[in-house]
Amino acid sequence: DNSKLYCLGSGQQHLNEPLLDHREGQLFLTEAFKVILEEVLCKGTDVNEKVCEWREPEELATLLDLELREYGEQQYQLLQRVRDVAKYSVKTNHPRFFNQLFAGVDYHALTGRFLTEALNTSQYTYEVAPVFVLMEDEVLSKLRSLVGWAQGDGIFCPGGTMSNMYAMNLARYRAFPEVKLKGQWALPRLAVFTSQESHYSVMKAAAFQGIGTENVFKVNVDDRGCMMTDDLSEKIELAKSQGAVPFLVHATSGTTVQGAFDPLEPIADICDRQGLWMHVDAAWGGSVLFSKEHRHLMRGVERWESGACSGIQLLECNFDLLKRCHSADATYLFQQDKFYDMSLDTGDKSIQCGRKVDCLKLWLMWKAVGSQGLEERVDRAFAHTRYLVEKMMKREGFQLIGKPEFVNVCFWFIPPSLRGKENSPDYQDRLSKVAPVIKERMIKQGTMMVGYQPLGGRVNFFRMIVISPQLSYQDMTFFLDEIERLGNNL
Amino acid sequence: DNSKLYCLGSGQQHLNEPLLDHREGQLFLTEAFKVILEEVLCKGTDVNEKVCEWREPEELATLLDLELREYGEQQYQLLQRVRDVAKYSVKTNHPRFFNQLFAGVDYHALTGRFLTEALNTSQYTYEVAPVFVLMEDEVLSKLRSLVGWAQGDGIFCPGGTMSNMYAMNLARYRAFPEVKLKGQWALPRLAVFTSQESHYSVMKAAAFQGIGTENVFKVNVDDRGCMMTDDLSEKIELAKSQGAVPFLVHATSGTTVQGAFDPLEPIADICDRQGLWMHVDAAWGGSVLFSKEHRHLMRGVERWESGACSGIQLLECNFDLLKRCHSADATYLFQQDKFYDMSLDTGDKSIQCGRKVDCLKLWLMWKAVGSQGLEERVDRAFAHTRYLVEKMMKREGFQLIGKPEFVNVCFWFIPPSLRGKENSPDYQDRLSKVAPVIKERMIKQGTMMVGYQPLGGRVNFFRMIVISPQLSYQDMTFFLDEIERLGNNL
C-alpha cells in the first residue's frame, strides 16, 4: 500500500521503540530499485529514448518541486520524486552520450557501488573496514604491477584533482621535508612544470597548496598537444634564472581535450638530471596500461615517482612517503594498543579522515571480466576510434584537428555555407559559432550529447569521446549523420 | 540461469555489436540487490546477528580470494563474492554499532545514494547535471536559513576535512588575495588558532596547504573540551609576538571525542576585534541547528564566516569568494557561449573537477521526514543520551569523564578488581589496559562495537556514540550489560 503515510514515530513516548521500521524502509528501497532499473538502466540506455530531457532552469525547478518543508511526504510521492529525478537527469549511460570523459554502464561496477553505499563504512582502519583495507591493497598492488613496479604505495582519491594534489604535496615534502612543520613561507619560491594542455587541476592545486599559480610554468606543446621537452628544459632554466626552485614536472598521459600523451622517457631523463619529481597524470589515459597493443603510449611510465591513474582516480607513489607526509596520529582512531597489526590502519596516509570505499567497484568489475576483459575494452575503444576517424575523413564537412593518439576525436564541422570559404575574413568567427548552435539543438532535441571548446588559437571544435563499452558501429554512423542533420543549414 | 558464463564478447569480430548485454547485466544487478537486502539490510540490522565477523587478516584474505586474475569469473561466483564482501564487512547499520560518528541506516537517503550511483554524473555544469545543480542550491540555501543567513554561498565536499581545507583557503585568500597567484612563500608567516581537542584535519590542512603545522596554535580547553577564550586571546598575542600574522580561528561545534561546543559568541567577538576569519567546524555537531531545544549550543553561529556542516559535509561561506578563490576557467567545461545562464555552471567553485553528487541523499531524506522529522531525530538522540547517562550513573563501575553536552558519552569502566584502588600507584596503568581488552573481546565475539582512546592526561576511556535513529532503550541497557559482561573479570 504505497499511499500509506510513512510514519516515523511521533515523539518522546516512542523512545522505547526503534524510530524507523526496517520492513517499510526495505519495501521503499525495493520499489525505488525497480524505478532505477526501469528509468535509468532500461530507458536510460535505449537508443530510442532521449539522452536528456531539456528544461529551462525555472521550469525544471517547478517540475521537481525542490522546496524542503516542515513535514514529510507520503511514500508514493517520494517514489514519484525518484522517478522525476531520473527522468530529468542526463542519461550518462546512454550510447549517445559522448559529452564527458566517462560514459556507459558496467553492471558489476554498479553492483559494487550499491554494495559500498549499503555497507556505509570508511576506509580508515582494519577494525571498521577489514574487507576493504585488504581489497584496496590488492587492487593497488595489481595496478603497480601494470606500471612495472614490484612495490610502492598508493591510495584511492576522490577524483583526479585530489590525486594530483597528493602528488604535489609529496613532491614538495621530498624536496623540503620541513614544509610540513614550517609551511611554504619558510621555503624558497618553488616551480612546477606542466604542459599548456594539461588539466586545469594543476593550477587549482598550486593555488590551494600555497605554491601559487604564477609558479606553474606552462611548457609548449606540439600540434598533437604533447609536451615539447626542449621547451621543458628551457622553462626549467627560466625558472631558475628567476630564483625559483624547480621540484616537480607534472606530465600528462591523455590530455583532456586532445588525448595527447607526453613523452615520458625524455621527461624522465630531464627529471633525473635535475633531481625533479616526475608525476604522471594518467587520470584519463592510464587505461592504455591494460593493453599490450597500446601501452607504448606510456613508455617510460615505470620511471614516474607518482601517478594519478585512469578513471579509478588513485595515486600511486614509489616512495614510502604517504604516511610520513600526511600523518597526524589521531589517537582516537589509530590507537597504538590494538590487538591486530596496526600497519593495516591506513587512514593516516590520506588527508581525509573519513574516506569512502572506492576499491570495491573496480575489484568486482575486474573479477568479472579479468585483465583480459579490461584489455579488450581498451582495444575496442581504440578500434572504434579508428573506425570513426576513417568514416569522418570520407565525409565532406568534417575536418579533424589532428590524428587522434587516444579516444578523443577532435574536429570541426564545416557547414555547406562555409565550405571553400577558408580565406574569407570572417571564416574563423563564423566557424566558432557553429558548434554552440549544433550543441544547443542536440540538447534541446535530446538526440545526443558531445562537448566542444576552443583551444589555443583554434576556435570552437567538437571533442567526441569514444569510451563506452556499449558502443557499436551504428552509434558512430548515427553520430556523423546527426551532426550533419543538426548543422547542415548553418 | 546463474551458472551461465557471462560473455563479454570475444574480440574484434563483434565490434559491430554492443560489448555488454544490458539484460544480463540488469539480471545480475537485481540478484545482487536481493543479496544486499538480505545480508546488509536484514541480517545487518538484526540484533540477533553479529555486528562484525572478525577474521585475522591472513585468513580473511584467503576467504575472500582477493586476487585479480587474467580471466573473468562466472555470474554465480560473482554473486557469492557480493555475499562474502557483505558477510565479512562491519555492519555499520547494526543497532549495536557505536564505534564511529556515523551509524544506522536511513532508507530514503540510501535510495538517494543508489540513484546517484546509477545516474553517474558530475556536479560541474547545468548541462550534465541539471537536476542536481538546482537541488544542491535548494539544500544549501535551506541550510543557510538554519544558520540564520538570507544569502551566502556553499558547496558539498567529500568529507569534513575537505570542508575545513576549503575554509582555510578562503580565509587565507581574503586576508592575502595575492596568495593565489604568488603562493605562500611571498606571504608572512601565518597563524591559525584552534582548540586542543579540535579535529586532526586542522593539522592536515595546515601541512597540505603550505601553512605549516607549527603555525597552528592550540588553544587550551576546559574539562568539557570547550575552547577557553582567554587563552585564545593570549595565543593570538603570542603568535603576533613571534612575528606571525593571525588570519583564522577554527572553532568546533561538537568535538570528535567529547562532543564539546566551543563558545561561538565570545570567539566571534575576538575575531571581530582582531579582523580574523571565524570558521566553525560543525561536521559533527551541526545537526543541533535542526532542534529548537538544542540549537543554543551553537549560539552565535550566524556570525561565522564559514562553517563545515554536520554529516552532510559541506562548506557554507558568507562571502562570494568560492569562485574567485578556486576558479581556473577551463574552457572545455565552462564555455562562455552556452545557450543557458552560465552562472548555473558551478563547477569552478570547487577544487575538484569531477564532483560526485552529494545533495540527493539529503534532499530525499528531508523530503521524506521534513524539517520536523529531522528535529525529532536530533531531540531523540539527546534523549537517549540522557537516558544512558542516568542509567550509567546508577551502575557501579561506570565513571563518566564529564556530563555530555552532546551525544558522545565518554566513560571509564572500572572492573571490580580496580574499584576502590584509585590511590594505588599502578591504577592508571592498569585502567589504561581495560578498554583495549574489552574492545578485543567484543570484536572477536561480534556483539557490539564502541571506540576508546586516551585524551590529554586521561588514560584510555570509551566513547559511546548515541546517534542511530534505530536505537531503543533496550540497546542502551544491552550496552551497559555487555560492557560489564566483557570486563567484569579484568
Scan for cell 594539461, then name that residue: A198
Q: CB-based contacts of B483: which residues, under 8 Å, 6+ apart?
A: B398, B413, B438, B462
φ, ψ (nearest 5 deg) of residue A400? -70, 145
Nearest C-alpha in A relative to B115: A36
Q: How confident is the model at residue B156 (pLDDT cuts 50, 70, 90)?
A: confident
Residues above pLDDT 70, as percent of chain A? 94
B57 with A126: Cβ contact below 8 A = yes
Q: CB-based contacts of B67: which residues, under 8 Å, 6+ apart?
A: A138
Orientation angle between helical segments B201-208 and B160-175, nearest 10 degrees: 50
Closest by alpha carbon to A4, among A20, A28, A26? A28
A453 with B99: Cβ contact below 8 A = no
φ, ψ (nearest 5 deg) of residue A155? -160, 145
Orientation angle between helical segments B130-147 and A57-64, nearest 10 degrees: 70
- Cα gap B173→A55, rounded to integer Å: 37
A354 with B159: Cβ contact below 8 A = yes
**For A241-261, b where at least 16 C-beta lie within 10 A, e where not — what string?**
eeebebbbbbbbbbbbbbbbb
B332 with A142: Cβ contact below 8 A = no
Closest by alpha carbon to A144, among A391, A389, A378, A309? A309
A269 CA: distance to closest CA in chain B (Å): 28
Using an 8 Å Cβ cutoff, are A101 and A287 in contact? no
Contacting residues of B for A329, CB less than 8 Å apart: 200
Pick the range with the lowest mean pLDDT from A88-102, B23-37, B109-123, B304-318: B304-318
By the 10 Å C-beta count (0-12 exposed, 13-18 middle, 19+ buried), B419 is classed as: exposed
Contacting residues of B for A366, CB less than 8 Å apart: 68
Nearest C-alpha in B relative to A23: B42
B26 with A32: Cβ contact below 8 A = no
Q: Quote the pLDDT of residue A144.
A: 87
Scan for cell 633531481, then name that residue: A275
**Residues A4-57: tens digit of each pLDDT:** 333 333 334 355 555 568 999 999 999 999 999 999 999 999 999 999 999 999
* Residue ranges of A 263-292 with Cβ closer than 8 A to chain B: none
Nearest C-alpha in B relative to A473: B16
B76 interfacial to chain A (CB closer than 8 Å):
no
Using an 8 Å Cβ cutoff, are B328 and B134 in contact? no
Q: Quote the pLDDT of residue A300.
A: 95
A79 interfacial to chain B (CB closer than 8 Å):
no
Contacting residues of B for A90, CB less than 8 Å apart: 119, 121, 127-130
Nearest C-alpha in A relative to B452: A332
B460 interfacial to chain A (CB closer than 8 Å):
yes
Q: Quote the pLDDT of residue A340.
A: 87
By the 10 Å C-beta count (0-12 exposed, 13-18 middle, 19+ buried), B440 is classed as: middle
Nearest C-alpha in A relative to B338: A436
Nearest C-alpha in B relative to A162: B352
Using an 8 Å Cβ cutoff, are B480 and B391 in contact? yes
Mutate to test the interface with A, among B37, B83, B90, B341 (most CBs of A within 10 A): B90
Nearest C-alpha in A relative to B132: A89
Pick the range with the lowest mean pLDDT from A137-141, B155-159, B218-222, B317-321: B317-321
Contacting residues of B for A15, CB less than 8 Å apart: 380, 383-384, 387, 472-473
A177 interfacial to chain B (CB closer than 8 Å):
no
Using an 8 Å Cβ cutoff, are A383 and B12 in contact? yes
B309 CA: distance to closest CA in chain A (Å): 15
Closest by alpha carbon to B168, among B279, B270, B274? B279
What is the mean predicted confidence (pLDDT) over B189-211?
96
**For A422-433, b where at least 16 C-beta lie within 10 A, e where not — what string?**
eeeeeeeebbbe
φ, ψ (nearest 5 deg) of residue B115? -65, -40
* Residue ranges of B 86-125 with Cβ closer than 8 A to chain A: 86, 88-93, 95, 99-100, 102, 104-108, 110-111, 113-115, 117-122
DSSP state of A2: T
Per DSSP, the residues of B443-478 read HHHTS-EEEEEEETTEEEEEEEE---TT--HHHHHH
Long-range pairs of B241-245 with CB within 8 A, sequence gap ≥ 24: B242/B189, B243/B188, B243/B189, B244/B188, B244/B189, B244/B190, B244/B191, B244/B215, B245/B175, B245/B187, B245/B188, B245/B189, B245/B190, B245/B191
Contacting residues of A for B379, CB less than 8 Å apart: 12
Closest by alpha carbon to A303, among A282, A272, A273, A325? A272
Q: Quote the pLDDT of residue A15.
A: 57
Mutate to test the interface with B, among A8, A132, A217 (most CBs of B within 10 A): A8
A357 interfacial to chain B (CB closer than 8 Å):
no
Scan for cell 597552528, then name that residue: B216
Q: Quote the pLDDT of residue B18.
A: 57
B225 CA: distance to closest CA in chain A (Å): 15
What Å distances lie between residue B269 and A297, A415, B307, B309, B316, CA to CA? 59, 64, 17, 22, 20
Contacting residues of B for A68, CB less than 8 Å apart: 138-139, 142, 363, 366-367, 370-371
Cα atoms in the Cβ-side hemisphere of radius 13 Å centred on A128: 29
B326 with A55: Cβ contact below 8 A = no
β-partners of residue B218 are B194
β-partners of residue B287 are none
Strand B245-252 and strand B190-195: the pairing is parallel
A199 CA: distance to closest CA in chain B (Å): 8
A22 with B42: Cβ contact below 8 A = yes
Closest by alpha carbon to B291, among B372, B370, B361? B372
- Cα gap A201→A162, rounded to integer Å: 9
Using an 8 Å Cβ cutoff, are A209 and B209 in contact? yes
Q: Quote the pLDDT of residue B436.
A: 97
DSSP state of A153: E
Amino acid (1-letter code) at residue B412? W
Q: How confident is the model at residue B313 (pLDDT cuts 50, 70, 90)?
A: low
- Cα gap B307→B250, rounded to integer Å: 9
Strand B449-455 and strand A216-219: the pairing is unpaired
DSSP state of B68: -
- pTM for the full model? 0.94
A72 with B384: Cβ contact below 8 A = no
φ, ψ (nearest 5 deg) of residue A228? -95, 120
Edge-to-edge strand list for the sheet holding B277-282: B153-156, B314-317, B306-309, B277-282, B245-252, B190-195, B216-219
A167 interfacial to chain B (CB closer than 8 Å):
no
A344 interfacial to chain B (CB closer than 8 Å):
yes
B355 interfacial to chain A (CB closer than 8 Å):
yes
A165 interfacial to chain B (CB closer than 8 Å):
yes
A63 interfacial to chain B (CB closer than 8 Å):
no
- Judge whether residue A258 has pLDDT over 70: yes
**Residues B7-38: tens digit of each pLDDT:** 333 334 355 555 568 999 999 999 999 999 99
By the 10 Å C-beta count (0-12 exposed, 13-18 middle, 19+ buried), B58 is classed as: exposed
Closest by alpha carbon to B75, among A111, A273, A343? A111
Using an 8 Å Cβ cutoff, are B174 and B306 in contact? no
B196 interfacial to chain A (CB closer than 8 Å):
no
Contacting residues of A for B12, CB less than 8 Å apart: 379-380, 383
- Judge whether residue A356 has pLDDT over 70: yes
Of B26, B162, B186, the CB nearest to A107: B26
The dihedral built from the CA positions of residue A114, A120, A123 and A125, taken in this order, carries a sign that is negative
B226 CA: distance to closest CA in chain A (Å): 18
A244 interfacial to chain B (CB closer than 8 Å):
no
A352 interfacial to chain B (CB closer than 8 Å):
yes
Here the cell at position A332 is 582516537
Cα-to-chain-centroid distance, residue A208 = 19
**Residues A149-202: tens digit of each pLDDT:** 888 888 888 888 888 999 999 999 999 999 999 999 999 999 999 999 999 999
* Residue ranges of A 382-441 with Cβ closer than 8 A to chain B: 383-384, 387, 432-433, 436, 439-440
Edge-to-edge strand list for the sheet holding A408-413: A97-98, A449-455, A458-465, A408-413, A398-400
Q: Quote the pLDDT of residue A305.
A: 82
**Residues A83-127: tens digit of each pLDDT:** 999 999 999 999 999 999 989 999 999 999 999 999 999 988 999
Closest by alpha carbon to A149, among A285, A302, A313? A302
B359: left (phi over 0), alpha (psi -120 to 50) or beta: alpha
